[in-house]
Amino acid sequence: MARLGENRYGKSRVRLSRITRHGDRHEFDEWTVRVLLQGDFEISFTQADNRCILPTDTMKNTVYSIACGSKAVTLEEFAMELGDYLLGNHPQVSKASVEIDEKAWERMIVDGEPDATTFRMNGAEVRTTSAAKEKGGAWTISSGVDGLTILKTTKSAFTGYIKDRLTTLKPATDRIFGTRVTVTWDYASASVDFAAARARILAALLKEFAGHMSMSVQHTLFDMGKAALAAAPEIERIHLTMPNLHHLLADLSPFGQDNPNHIFVPIDEPHGYIEATIER
C-alpha cells in the first residue's frame, strides 16, 4: 500500500528587475525568485482534487505584486515579506520557503563619481538568500554568495601530503591559488541589518584570502570562515565550497626555455573540491 510522504511545490525562476526612484538617484535590483509551499495538499496527489492548490502561475503574479508595493531594501527582507503574505493569505499552507538570487549590479563610476542612474555588473558572482518559516514560527535565514571568483599569485604552498605509487604531483612552495567560492551563512535571528552583515562578511573573507599564507585550500578555507565569524556576530555558522582551479606550469623545455613560475596553463577540469562548515 502506498502513502504520500513529504511534499512541496511552487514556482521557480521568477525573474524580476526593480527600479527604486529616489529624488537624486535610482537603485536597481535584479532578482530570480523561487517559492516553495508545504501544507495540506494531500488530496491533490491522492484524489486528483485541486481545491487546495494555489496555481504556481498565481505565485509568479504574487512575486510581482508584492514587489511593486514593497519597501524591502535587501533580498532577505523581500523574501520574508513575500513568505509572510503567502502564509497569511492561504490557510492550507503550513510552511513557506523563499529563495532569491541577486545579480551583482553596482553603481557605475563616471569621472571618479558614482553615477546616479547608471550601473555595471560587478563580476559573475550572485548574492543569495534562502528564507523559511512555518506558520506561527520564526524565520530562518541563510544568505551567501555563489561564484565569487578570486585568485592570488603567491602566498600559497602545498607540501607534506601522502605520496603513494600513483602520486605524480610535485610539492609546491609558491603556486597560484585560484578558486570560485560558494559561501552560505546562517543568521542567528531575522532581526539583522542584512546589508551591513553581508558587507562585513565578504570583506573579512577577501581580506583573509589575500593575506593568508596558505598551506592548502583546507587551511585557507578554515581561516576564512573563522574570520567571517569574528566579523559578524549575527551569524551562527558559515559553509564554504572552494574548488581548486588549477594553473599548471607550462613545460617550455622542449623549446630550450626556462620557465621560472612565469607561464601557466589554466584548467577548469578536473579540479580539487573542498568544502566545510565552520561553526562557533
The number of angstroms, rounded, from the C-alpha of 50 to the middle of its chain's C-alpha atoms is 35
Give the per-residue pLDDT at 123.
83
φ and ψ at 57, to 5 degrees? -65, -35
Identify whether 135 is a catalytic site residue: no
Are 39 and 93 in contact by the 8 Å Cβ rule? The answer is yes
Q: What pLDDT does 280 receive?
A: 95
| Cell digits of residue 16 | 524580476
Confidence (pLDDT) at 91: 96
Q: What length does the chain have?
A: 280
**Residues 264-277: tens digit of each pLDDT:** 999 989 999 999 99
The type of residue at 78 is F
What three-state secondary structure class fits 271? coil
Residues 151 and 178: beta-carbon distance below 8 Å = yes
What are the pLDDT digits (tens) for 107-152?
Answer: 999 999 999 999 999 888 999 999 999 999 999 999 999 999 999 9
Q: What is the model's pLDDT at position 268? A: 86
Residue among 26, 32, 56, 90 flagged as catalytic: 56
pLDDT value for 124: 86
Position 248 scores a pLDDT of 93
What is the H or E stretch that residue 44 is in? Answer: helix 42-46
Tell me the mean pLDDT in the region 250-267: 95
Please give the share of the chain, as a percent, with pLDDT higher than 70.
Answer: 100
Average pLDDT over residues 52-63: 98
Active site residue 153: no
Q: Which domains does the chain have, with CATH numbers?
A: 9-138 (3.10.270.10), 148-279 (3.10.270.10)
Q: Structure pTM?
A: 0.93
- Give every CB contact of residue 271 below 8 A, 6+ residues apart in sequence: 243, 244, 245, 246
Task: Share the mean pLDDT of the chain.
Answer: 96
- Does residue 155 carry a catalytic annotation? no
From 11, 60, 133, 212, active-site residue: 11
* Active-site option among 60, 133, 212, 246: 246
Give the per-residue pLDDT at 71: 92
pLDDT of residue 231 exceeding 90, the answer is: yes
Bridge partners of 258, per DSSP, are none
Angle at 110 between CA 107 and CA 115, to 5 degrees: 40
Per the DSSP assignment, residues forming a β-bridge with 130 are: 99, 142
- Rounded to whole angstroms, the Cα distance separating 77 from 104 reads 17
